[in-house]
Amino acid sequence: MILHCVFLRLKTAMTGDEKQSLFAAIAALKQVIPGILDIKYGPNVSPEGLHGGFVDGFAVTFESPEARDAYLIHPEHVTVGERIVSSTDGGLAGILVFDLNI
Protein backbone atom coordinates (compact mmCIF):
# COMPACT_ATOMS: atom_id res chain seq x y z
CA MET A 1 0.00 0.00 0.00
CA ILE A 2 1.00 3.61 -0.56
CA LEU A 3 0.20 6.54 1.72
CA HIS A 4 0.23 9.65 -0.50
CA CYS A 5 0.57 12.70 1.79
CA VAL A 6 -0.01 16.17 0.33
CA PHE A 7 0.69 19.25 2.43
CA LEU A 8 -0.70 22.60 1.30
CA ARG A 9 0.07 26.25 1.85
CA LEU A 10 -3.36 27.55 0.83
CA LYS A 11 -3.94 31.19 -0.03
CA THR A 12 -4.85 33.18 3.08
CA ALA A 13 -7.79 34.72 1.20
CA MET A 14 -9.55 31.32 0.97
CA THR A 15 -12.70 31.17 3.05
CA GLY A 16 -13.65 28.19 5.16
CA ASP A 17 -16.35 27.30 2.64
CA GLU A 18 -13.83 27.41 -0.22
CA LYS A 19 -11.47 25.12 1.69
CA GLN A 20 -14.31 22.72 2.46
CA SER A 21 -15.33 22.68 -1.21
CA LEU A 22 -11.75 21.93 -2.28
CA PHE A 23 -11.39 19.08 0.20
CA ALA A 24 -14.81 17.69 -0.78
CA ALA A 25 -13.61 17.56 -4.41
CA ILE A 26 -10.49 15.70 -3.28
CA ALA A 27 -12.53 13.24 -1.18
CA ALA A 28 -14.89 12.62 -4.12
CA LEU A 29 -11.99 11.14 -6.11
CA LYS A 30 -12.41 7.95 -4.06
CA GLN A 31 -15.71 7.34 -5.85
CA VAL A 32 -14.27 7.62 -9.38
CA ILE A 33 -10.66 6.41 -9.28
CA PRO A 34 -10.04 2.70 -8.68
CA GLY A 35 -7.53 1.63 -6.06
CA ILE A 36 -8.17 4.41 -3.53
CA LEU A 37 -8.82 2.83 -0.14
CA ASP A 38 -9.20 5.98 1.95
CA ILE A 39 -8.87 9.78 1.87
CA LYS A 40 -8.43 11.93 4.97
CA TYR A 41 -7.99 15.73 5.05
CA GLY A 42 -7.81 18.64 7.42
CA PRO A 43 -5.61 21.19 9.16
CA ASN A 44 -2.23 20.44 10.70
CA VAL A 45 -2.77 19.87 14.43
CA SER A 46 0.86 19.32 15.43
CA PRO A 47 1.89 21.44 18.44
CA GLU A 48 5.55 21.50 17.32
CA GLY A 49 5.28 24.55 15.05
CA LEU A 50 7.40 22.91 12.35
CA HIS A 51 4.83 23.11 9.55
CA GLY A 52 6.78 25.61 7.45
CA GLY A 53 3.53 27.26 6.41
CA PHE A 54 1.94 23.99 5.23
CA VAL A 55 -1.06 24.16 7.54
CA ASP A 56 -3.59 22.10 5.57
CA GLY A 57 -3.30 18.75 3.87
CA PHE A 58 -4.69 15.42 2.87
CA ALA A 59 -3.61 11.80 2.69
CA VAL A 60 -4.72 9.19 0.18
CA THR A 61 -4.23 5.49 0.87
CA PHE A 62 -3.78 3.41 -2.28
CA GLU A 63 -3.94 -0.36 -2.54
CA SER A 64 -0.71 -0.43 -4.57
CA PRO A 65 1.93 1.71 -6.25
CA GLU A 66 0.21 0.95 -9.56
CA ALA A 67 -3.08 2.37 -8.26
CA ARG A 68 -1.23 5.53 -7.18
CA ASP A 69 0.40 5.83 -10.59
CA ALA A 70 -2.97 5.45 -12.36
CA TYR A 71 -4.44 8.12 -10.05
CA LEU A 72 -1.70 10.57 -10.96
CA ILE A 73 -2.70 10.60 -14.64
CA HIS A 74 -6.46 10.09 -14.18
CA PRO A 75 -8.41 13.00 -15.77
CA GLU A 76 -10.45 13.63 -12.60
CA HIS A 77 -7.26 13.89 -10.54
CA VAL A 78 -5.70 16.22 -13.11
CA THR A 79 -8.74 18.51 -12.88
CA VAL A 80 -8.74 18.56 -9.07
CA GLY A 81 -4.95 18.95 -9.09
CA GLU A 82 -5.22 22.08 -11.20
CA ARG A 83 -7.73 23.46 -8.72
CA ILE A 84 -5.36 22.67 -5.84
CA VAL A 85 -2.44 24.41 -7.55
CA SER A 86 -4.53 27.51 -8.22
CA SER A 87 -5.60 27.55 -4.54
CA THR A 88 -2.10 27.52 -3.08
CA ASP A 89 0.22 30.35 -2.25
CA GLY A 90 2.92 30.14 -4.92
CA GLY A 91 1.32 27.48 -7.13
CA LEU A 92 3.43 24.31 -7.08
CA ALA A 93 5.72 25.87 -4.46
CA GLY A 94 2.72 25.76 -2.11
CA ILE A 95 2.48 21.97 -2.32
CA LEU A 96 4.62 19.28 -0.69
CA VAL A 97 4.06 15.63 -1.63
CA PHE A 98 5.47 12.70 0.34
CA ASP A 99 4.64 9.07 -0.42
CA LEU A 100 5.26 6.19 1.97
CA ASN A 101 5.14 2.43 1.49
CA ILE A 102 2.90 1.12 4.25
What is the CATH classification number for the domain harbouring 33?
A: 3.30.70.100
- How many CA within 13 A on the CB side of residue 56? 19
Instruction: Give residues with Cβ within 8 angstroms of 46, minimum separation 6.
Output: none
Q: How far apart are CA 52 and CA 102, in angstroms?
A: 25
Is position 49 within any domain?
Answer: no
Question: What pLDDT shows up at residue 29?
Answer: 98
In angstroms, the first-to-last Cα distance of the chain is: 5
pLDDT value of position 42: 96
38 within some domain: yes
In a domain, 50, yes or no: no
pTM reported for the whole predicted model:
0.95
**Residue 17 lies in domain:** 1-44+56-99
pLDDT at 49 (0 to 100): 95
> Quick check: is 51 in a domain?
no
Task: Report how many domains make up the chain.
Answer: 1
Which pLDDT score is estimated for 73? 98
pLDDT < 50 stretches in the chain: none
Residue 10: per-residue pLDDT: 97
